[in-house]
Structure 1
Amino acid sequence: MVSKDLPDDGHAVVAKGKSPSGKKAAPRDDEIHGPSPNAATNLAIADIALRGGAALVRHTIERAVLGKKYGPRKAAKVIKGRSLKESLLHGALARVALRSVPGAIVVGGVLVAKTLYDRSKAREARRKGEATLNEMGGKGES
């Protein structure tokens, strides 16, 4: 016997967005939220938006860090002049650091050690760094 309150599918009839207890109903499993009815398309859109946003933030921070000493034009040239090998290495190190606590400890430790080493060899490191950035800036002009 079917109650008068229940439709054929067995669910209670209530106001839209409300559960029988009066609380907001949980979304149904077959409802898709996003610009597309296809969940895979929505995931791709979200992924592209997040990666694009992260790239913009990364470039802004890189320019800000380099721009303090070199000015915005030279900073942009240096960033543009980076090699593919350097970009891939930096991306791989960031992924290792983000995926696990031990990875973050290792990568962070290496960066701290490199910073301390560079500070101990400040004059020579400054000269080498200037030469490298000038070379990268020359590559970024073309």
Structure 2
Amino acid sequence: MAKKGKKLADAAKDAADKVPAPSPNPMTNLILADIALRTGGALLRRGVEKGLIGSKLGSKKAGRVIKGRSMMQTLVGTAIARVATRSVPGAIVVGGGLLAKTLYDRKRSRKAEAAGEVAVEEQAERGKKA
């Protein structure tokens, strides 16, 4: 079975070697790959956000909520994601914090739901104006 997997991997590598790069300049190819990956990541992130938020609020309102994010919310989210993806201890700290926040919100479910709905409405309004 290991031989079969190695043969498939070799065949895939040979096929990849035969596909020409978009540009003869390797730096241009690196820039194109970076742009493609960042664009794909942004589209995937937006789709996941809309899916998670839209299940409760509806797709249109979810789009407005995402659009209404402040610069501070974006920077904090990016910083937390970077800490979580840089190291195992960072992932543990961020994951533990998210778990603690979720459990805290569940304990205070009525108050947390009311406060969250007010915040979402405000953010959706900012998204309408943007």
Do the structures match in fold with TM over 0.5? yes
1:49 equivalenced with 2:36 (yes/no): yes
Aligned to 2:70: 83
Aligned to 1:19: none
Aligned to 1:133: 120
Structure 1 residue runs of 5 or longer lacking an equivalent are 1-23, 28-32
How far is the alpha carbon of 1:39 from its aligned partner? Answer: 1.4
1:70 equivalenced with 2:57 (yes/no): yes
How far is the alpha carbon of 1:40 from its aligned partner? Answer: 1.3
How far is the alpha carbon of 1:34 from its aligned partner? Answer: 2.1
Aligned to 1:101: 88
RMSD over aligned Cα, in angstroms? 1.7
Larger Rg: 1
Question: Percent same amino acid at aligned positions?
Answer: 53
Task: Name which structure has the greater RCO, CA cutoff 8 Å, separation 6+.
Answer: 2
Aligned to 1:123: 110
Distance 1:34 1:100 in 2: 33
Structure 1 segments of 4+ aligned residues over 4 angstroms from their partners: none
How many residues of Structure 1 are paired with residues of Structure 2 in the alignment? 113
Counting helix residues as a fraction of each chain, which structure ranks higher?
2
CA deviation string 1:55-108 (max 9, x = no partner): 001000110111111111100000000101101111111111111111111111
Aligned to 2:98: 111
For the residue of structure 1 that corresponds to 2:23, the secondary structure is coil
1:61 equivalenced with 2:48 (yes/no): yes
Aligned to 1:14: none
